[in-house]
Structure 1
Amino acid sequence: MACLFRRAIAEQVSQVLGLPPEKLIPHIHAIQVHRKQDSPDFQLYVNSVPGDHFNATSQVENALKLASKLARNSVISEIRTGRGSVTFRINRDLLTKTILRKINQDGSSFGMNSELLSNTSRGLTLVEYSSPNIAKKFHVGHLRSTIIGNFIANLKEAVGCKVIRMNYLGDWGFQFGLLGAGFNKYGCEEKLRANPLQHLFEVYVKVSATAEKDDDIKQSAQDFMQRLENGHPQALSLWTHFRDLSIEEYAKVYKRLGVRFDEYSGESFYTEKAQDILKLLKSKGMLKTTGDGKIVVDLSEQGDLSTHSTVMRSDGTALYITRDLAAAIDRMEKYTFDEMIYVTDKSQQTHFEHLFKILEILGKERVSKCQHVKFGRVQGMQTRRGDVIFLEDVLDEARSRMLQNMANSETSKTTEDPADTAEKIGIAALIVQDFKGPLFSDYQFQWDQALQSSGDTGVFLQYTHARLHSLLNLWETREKEEFDANCLQDPSVSSTLRHFLRYDEVIHKTLKELQPRYLVSYLMGLGHLANVAHRSLHVKGSSPDVAHARLLFFNSIRVVLANGMRLLGITPLDKM
C-alpha cells in the first residue's frame, strides 16, 4: 500500500544520494488531502534527508537539483518541486488497484504492517487503567482513565504487542476503616444486595460526616482498619464482601463500555510487600524522619528534603506510594515487560515522578520502560437532573438523549434493539468528544454538541459507517476481487485513495505520542470524503462492472473506518 509506494520513491532517491532506502522512507510523507485541489501524493523535504547531501543555504535549489536526477517510471507518474521539497504523483490506475486490493485482503490489519512501524517494539506491554476505589460508584472522572487506557491497549495490540490490561483497584486504606465502622452503624444488608455501590456510597457519606464531629467514630474506623491489617476474620470477611460486590458492579459498567481486563489487582495485594519495600529503603539508607514523625525518601539534589516523598506515616503504616513501589517491582520481576503504561489524571503527575525516581535510585533499570499517560478533567458534564457524580448516570443520559434523537429523526431505521443502538451511539459520542483534543487538557463537555449527527462527532462516525454498510445489500458479486479501475475515475475516489495513503502515518504518530486525537481527525476526514463520494457515485442504475467497482470502493472506506473506530473503543453499528 502506501509503504510500497514510499519504497519505490525511496529506492530511486537512494540511487541519487547513496543512502539506504530504509533511511529515506520515514521522511517521505503522504500529502494531506485538500478538497478543492488535486495535490500530489507524496512529499520529501530535502532538509529532512539524513546526512550532508545538499547546500544548506538554498532548499529550493536543492529540491530542483534532486528532482532533475529523478525519473518517472511505472509507479511514479509525475515529479515536481515545491518549497524546498520534491513531490511525487503515483500512477492512478496502479494507485487505485493497489490500495483497494490491499484493504480487501488485509481487512482489520490494514496499515499495521507498514515499514513506518518496523521499528515498533512488539514485546509485552502492561497498561494500568480505570483503577476505581472499591465500595464507591464510578465517578465520571473514571471515564477518561477507562477509555484512554482501553484505547492504548487496543492500539498496542493492533500493532502486534502482547498486552496485559490491568485494573489496579484502590481497595485499602483508612477509607475502609471508615466504611467498616460505618456499616456496623448505618448499613443494611437488604439495601446492600439491592444496590451495592449506591448503599455503600450512602454509608460512606454518613460516616465521613459523623467522623468529622465524633472522635469515637474516628477511633472505631482506626480500630477496624487495624483489625483488617491484622487479618481479623470478621473484618476481613466484610472487606472481601465489599470488594467482590464492587467488582461485580464495575463489570456491568465495563461491559457497557466494551472494556475488558486481563488482571484485577489492588493495593491490598501489596500491604505486606510494602513493609518489605520500607525495609529495603532503610537498608540502603534512603529513609529520613521529618519533624512531625513522617518517614520520607529525600529526592532533593542538595539532601535538604526540599523535594521528598512520604512513604510511611508517623504511626508506622505504609502509604499509597509504598504499595505502588511494591506493585511496580513485583511486575518487573513477574513479567519482565517491555513497557508499562499508567493512565491517570494529571493530578497524580508528581506521584509518578516520585515513584519513578525512587525506583531509579533503587537501581531498577526497567523503570526506563515505565510511562505515565496523564489527562485533564472534564467540565460541564451535567444531566437533566443536575450535576453528575456517577458514570452510570452519564451513560444512561447519553442513551436516553440518543433514543429521543432517534425517535425524532426521519432518517432513523428500525433496529432490533433501539436501546442498545442508542447506547452504542451515545458511547461513541462520549469517546469522540473526549478524544478530539490533547489528553492533557481539561475540556468543556457539551451534550448538544457531542450528540449532533453532523460535524465531527461520534454520532457522525456511526451514521457514516451504518450508511456504508447498508450499501452492501446491493453488492451481488462481492467475492470477485477483480474490478475495472476505469470505473473509478471520479475526483472523490482520488481524494479518498490519497487519504488512505496517510493511514499508516497517522497510526505511527498516534502510537508514538499515544494521543487519539490524530486518529479521530483522520476518521472524520474519511467520513466527510465518504459522504462526498456517496453523493456523486451512484450504485443503483449503474452497470454491473461500475456497481461492483464502486461497492468495492465504498466497502474499503467502511473497513478502514471500522478499524479506526474499534481502536478508539467504539463498536461500529451496521444500522441506525
Structure 2
Amino acid sequence: MSPEKVYGGVHLVPYRGVSELFYCFVFKLYRWLAFLEKISPRRQSDFRLSVSHLRQKGFLPSAEDIQTQAESLARQLNRDSVVEDVTVGRAVINFKIKRDVLAEKILEQVSKEGHTFGLKSALLCGQQKGRTLVEFSSPNIAKKFHAGHLRSTIIGNFISNLKEALGNEVVRMNYLGDWGLQFGMLGAGFQDYGSQEELKANPLQHLFQVYVRVNAEAEKDEGVRQRAGEFFRQLESGEEEALALWRHFREISVGEYQRVYQRLGIRFHEYSGESFHQKQALDVLERLRAQGLLRTTEKGTGVVDLSPAGDMSCFATVLRSDGTSLYITRDLAAAIDRKEAYDFDEMIYVTDKSQEGHFRQVFQILRAMGHQWADSCRHVPFGLVRGMKTRKGEVVFLEDVLEEAKGRVLRNMQATWTSKELEDPDVTAERVGVAALIIQDFRGPLESDYSFDWGRVLQMQGDTGLFLQYTHSRLCSLTRMHGSGEGGPLDPMLLQEEQGAGVLKQILRYDEALLQCSCDLQPKHLVNFLLALSHLVAVGLRTLPVKGSPLPLAQARLRLFDSARTVLANGMRILGVTPVEKM
C-alpha cells in the first residue's frame, strides 16, 4: 500500500488500496470536504474544485487573493498516473483524469466487491459502528394498518438497511400501540356491539367499526366513557377477563400487519408495545419520586419540571389524576428496558413530526434521571402526505394503497409492455408499485409534507420508481442477451466516450451518497444518486451499442453496464426497493 502523501498541506492516505487513483488530491480532498459543488462532466475537465468553498470550510486562509491562492494550490498538485492535467480557472481548479485508468480500477472493483461495493470506502471508515436500535412503523393494534403509517414503515426500514450495510448490528423494533385508554373504549364497545362471527371473518375491519361506533356513542353518553375508563383500569390491574379479550385483539392484529409487511418486504426482530412496559412504568414513577423529580399538581396529576429555572414554566405530565400511566411514562420505561436488554450504542425513533416535542421531553427526563445515554437517542421526524386517494376515494388503509399501486402498474404493463413474458406479472407489478411509492416518498426532505399524485408517481419518464425499475430491468435484459462481459479481457482504452465516462464517474460517487445518508438519515441523497445514474445509463444504452460492435468493444461496454446494474441494485435494496429483472 502506498504511503501517506501531502498535497497543499493536506495529508492524504491510500484510498481503497488502489495505488494512486483515489488518494490524489481530487479524489481525496474533494470527497472528504463532503458535499462541495459537483460540476457536470465536460470535455475540458472531469472535475472542478471550488477554491472559495475550501475557504468557507476553513481549509484555506481567506485573507489571500483567491485567484492567487488557486494558482498557488494548483502548482502544488502533481500530475501522476491518474491526473492527466490540472488547470486553473476563475477561482477553481480543473482536473482531467486518465479515463482508461478510471475505467479499469472502477470496473475491477465493482466486479470484485459486488454487493459490498463502496461500503469499505475510506470515506465511510470514520462512521461509528455498533448496535443500533430502530423503532419504526408502530401501528395501533385492533385497527387496520392506516396509510399514515406508510412513511414510518418505509423510512425506518431504509435507516435499518443503511445501518446494516455500513456494518452496524441493527435491532428492528415494532413498538405497537397496544395499551392506553383507547383500549378501554374498544373493550367496552366490543362488549356492547362486538360479534365473534364478524371478528373471525374480517377481524380488523370489524374492530374498526366497533371503535368508530363506541366513540360516537361516547360523544352522546358520558356513561359509555366511564365504562371505557373502568375497562382500562381492569386492564391495568390485570383482571383476566379484560386481558384475555385484549390479548385476542393483539394476536389477530399482529397477524394482519405481518401480511402487509411481507408485501412491503419488511421484517422486524421484535414486536414490542406499550403493554410490555406498563408495570415498569410504575417503577419509573417511583424512581422519579425518589429522585425528587415527580411533583403533583392541584389537579392531582404527576408532572416532571423541565424548565431551566425550575419554576414549572415547562413540564411533562407523566401520571393521570386517577393513577393510570401515560404514553410518555411507558416510553420512559421502554427506553430504560431497551438499554438494559440490548446495550445499544444509539436508538432511533421514526415518527411523524408532531411528536418532536414528546421525544424532546422523553430525552430530557431520561437525562434528569441520570441516564446520559439519552444523548445517543434520536428522533427522525417526517411530514404528512396529502391527497392520497384510490379510485374509490380517500385512502384510509395501507392495503388499499398497495392494491391501487399494483393494479395501476399491472394495467400499464398489460397495455404497453411485454407482461405476457413474465412468469408472475402480479409479483412484478407489486414490486414496481412499491418502488413507485417509496421513491415518491424519498425524493424530498423527510420532514416536509407533500401532495400525492398517482399520475406523477407512475410516470415511466422522469424521476420515479418506475424509471429506476425499468432501467434495472433493461440492464438485466442486456446481460441475458449478451452476458456481463466478465468472460473476456477488458481493454479500458475502449471506454473513452463522454457517455461511458459519465457513468463511471457517477459510480465513483456512490459512497458519497451513502455518507450523506449516514450523516442526516435522509434517503433523498441515495435516491438522487440512483436517478442520476439511471439517466446516464439511459444515454449510454442509446449511444454505446453492444450489438454489432467488435467483440473487445462489446465486452468493455458490457462490463460498464453490468457495473452500473450492480450499483443500481445495491442502492435500491438499501432504500427498501426489490429490483425486478423483467418488466
Return the TM-score normalized by structure 2.
Answer: 0.93
State how 1:124-523 maps to structure 2 within 5 Å. Answer: 124-410=131-417, 412=419, 414-476=421-483, 478-480=485-487, 482-523=489-530
Is the contact made by 2:37 and 2:50 (CA closer than 8 Å) also made in structure 1? no
Distance (Å, rounded) in 2 between the aligned partners of 1:95 and 1:565:
24
Is the contact made by 1:180 and 1:235 (CA closer than 8 Å) also made in structure 2? yes
- Which blocks of at least 5 consecutive residues in structure 1 are unaligned? none
* CA 411–64 in structure 1, closer or farther in 2 if over 3 Å, else same: farther
* CA 151–15 in structure 1, closer or farther in 2 if over 3 Å, else same: closer
Is the contact made by 2:45 and 2:95 (CA closer than 8 Å) also made in structure 1? no
1:319, distance to aligned residue in structure 2 (A): 0.4
* CA 477–159 in structure 1, closer or farther in 2 if over 3 Å, else same: closer
Q: Structure 2: which amino acid aligns with 1:128?
A: E
Distance (Å, rounded) in 2 between the aligned partners of 1:410 and 1:234:
56
Deviates more, 1:519-528 or 1:208-217: 208-217
Render the CA deviation track for 1:47-105: whole Å, top value 9, x for unaligned.
63787865623222112112112221112111123443433332211100000111111
Distance (Å, rounded) in 1 between the aligned partners of 2:562 and 2:294:
62
Render the CA deviation track for 1:404-458: whole Å, top value 9, x for unaligned.
1112215556211111111111111100110011000000010000001110000
Q: Structure 2: which amino acid aligns with 1:69?
A: Q
What is the aligned partner in structure 1 of residue 25 from structure 2?
none
Render the CA deviation track for 1:244-293: whole Å, top value 9, x for unaligned.
10000000000000111011110001011100101111111112222322
Is the contact made by 1:47 and 1:84 (CA closer than 8 Å) also made in structure 2? no
* CA 555–38 in structure 1, closer or farther in 2 if over 3 Å, else same: farther
What is the aligned partner in structure 2 of residue 63 from structure 1?
70
Is the contact made by 1:413 and 1:575 (CA closer than 8 Å) also made in structure 2? no
Pairing partner for 1:526 from 533, 555, 559:
533
1:295, distance to aligned residue in structure 2 (A): 1.2
Distance (Å, rounded) in 1 between the aligned partners of 2:434 and 2:421:
20
Is the contact made by 2:384 and 2:449 (CA closer than 8 Å) also made in structure 1? yes
Pairing partner for 2:9 from 17, 21, 24:
17
Distance (Å, rounded) in 2 between the aligned partners of 1:363 and 1:378:
38
Distance (Å, rounded) in 1 between the aligned partners of 2:345 and 2:571:
25
1:364, distance to aligned residue in structure 2 (A): 0.6
Distance (Å, rounded) in 2 between the aligned partners of 1:534 and 1:15:
38
Q: Structure 1: which amino acid aligns with 2:318?
A: V
Distance (Å, rounded) in 1 between the aligned partners of 2:324 and 2:91:
63
Distance (Å, rounded) in 2 between the aligned partners of 1:245 and 1:299:
40
Q: Structure 2: which amino acid aligns with 1:375?
A: F
1:490, distance to aligned residue in structure 2 (A): 2.1
Is the contact made by 1:30 and 1:501 (CA closer than 8 Å) also made in structure 2? no
Is the contact made by 1:376 and 1:440 (CA closer than 8 Å) also made in structure 2? yes
* CA 55–452 in structure 1, closer or farther in 2 if over 3 Å, else same: closer
* CA 568–447 in structure 1, closer or farther in 2 if over 3 Å, else same: same
What is the aligned partner in structure 2 of residue 32 from structure 1?
38
Pairing partner for 2:47 from 25, 41, 50:
41
Render the CA deviation track for 1:525-576: whole Å, top value 9, x for unaligned.
1111011000011111222222211111111111111111111100000001
* CA 340–69 in structure 1, closer or farther in 2 if over 3 Å, else same: same
Distance (Å, rounded) in 1 between the aligned partners of 2:186 and 2:10:
71
Q: Structure 2: which amino acid aligns with 1:63?
A: A
1:195, distance to aligned residue in structure 2 (A): 1.5
1:193, distance to aligned residue in structure 2 (A): 1.4
Distance (Å, rounded) in 2 between the aligned partners of 1:424 and 1:258:
9
1:41, distance to aligned residue in structure 2 (A): 3.2
1:487, distance to aligned residue in structure 2 (A): 2.4
Is the contact made by 1:54 and 1:62 (CA closer than 8 Å) also made in structure 2? no
Deviates more, 1:141-150 or 1:180-189: 180-189
Distance (Å, rounded) in 2 between the aligned partners of 1:296 and 1:274:
14
1:491, distance to aligned residue in structure 2 (A): 1.5
Secondary structure in 1 matching 2:220: coil
* CA 170–477 in structure 1, closer or farther in 2 if over 3 Å, else same: closer
Return the TM-score normalized by structure 1.
Answer: 0.94
Deviates more, 1:268-277 or 1:205-214: 205-214
Secondary structure in 2 matching 1:399: helix
Secondary structure in 2 matching 1:160: coil
Is the contact made by 1:125 and 1:338 (CA closer than 8 Å) also made in structure 2? yes
Secondary structure in 2 matching 1:374: strand
Pairing partner for 1:561 from 565, 568, 574:
568
Is the contact made by 1:30 and 1:42 (CA closer than 8 Å) also made in structure 2? no
* CA 64–418 in structure 1, closer or farther in 2 if over 3 Å, else same: same
Is the contact made by 2:36 and 2:53 (CA closer than 8 Å) also made in structure 1? no
What is the aligned partner in structure 1 of residue 19 from structure 2?
none
1:27, distance to aligned residue in structure 2 (A): 2.8
Secondary structure in 1 matching 2:430: helix
Distance (Å, rounded) in 1 between the aligned partners of 2:71 and 2:573:
43
* CA 84–563 in structure 1, closer or farther in 2 if over 3 Å, else same: same
* CA 202–39 in structure 1, closer or farther in 2 if over 3 Å, else same: farther
Is the contact made by 1:30 and 1:498 (CA closer than 8 Å) also made in structure 2? no
1:308, distance to aligned residue in structure 2 (A): 0.8
How many matched pairs? 568
Distance (Å, rounded) in 2 between the aligned partners of 1:18 and 1:523:
31
Distance (Å, rounded) in 1 between the aligned partners of 2:325 and 2:483:
67
Distance (Å, rounded) in 1 between the aligned partners of 2:140 and 2:53:
52
What is the aligned partner in structure 1 of residue 80 from structure 2?
73
State how 1:39-118 maps to structure 2 within 5 Å. Answer: 39-41=45-47, 43=49, 45=51, 48=54, 54=61, 56-118=63-125
Secondary structure in 2 matching 1:212: helix
Distance (Å, rounded) in 2 between the aligned partners of 1:497 and 1:71:
23
* CA 31–548 in structure 1, closer or farther in 2 if over 3 Å, else same: farther
Distance (Å, rounded) in 2 between the aligned partners of 1:37 and 1:15:
25
Distance (Å, rounded) in 1 between the aligned partners of 2:151 and 2:567:
25
Distance (Å, rounded) in 2 between the aligned partners of 1:415 and 1:166:
36
Distance (Å, rounded) in 1 between the aligned partners of 2:291 and 2:486:
68
Q: Structure 2: which amino acid aligns with 1:34?
A: S
Q: Structure 1: which amino acid aligns with 2:494?
A: C
- Which blocks of at least 5 consecutive residues in structure 2 are unaligned? 15-27
Identity percentage of aligned residues: 52
Pairing partner for 2:554 from 547, 559, 565:
547
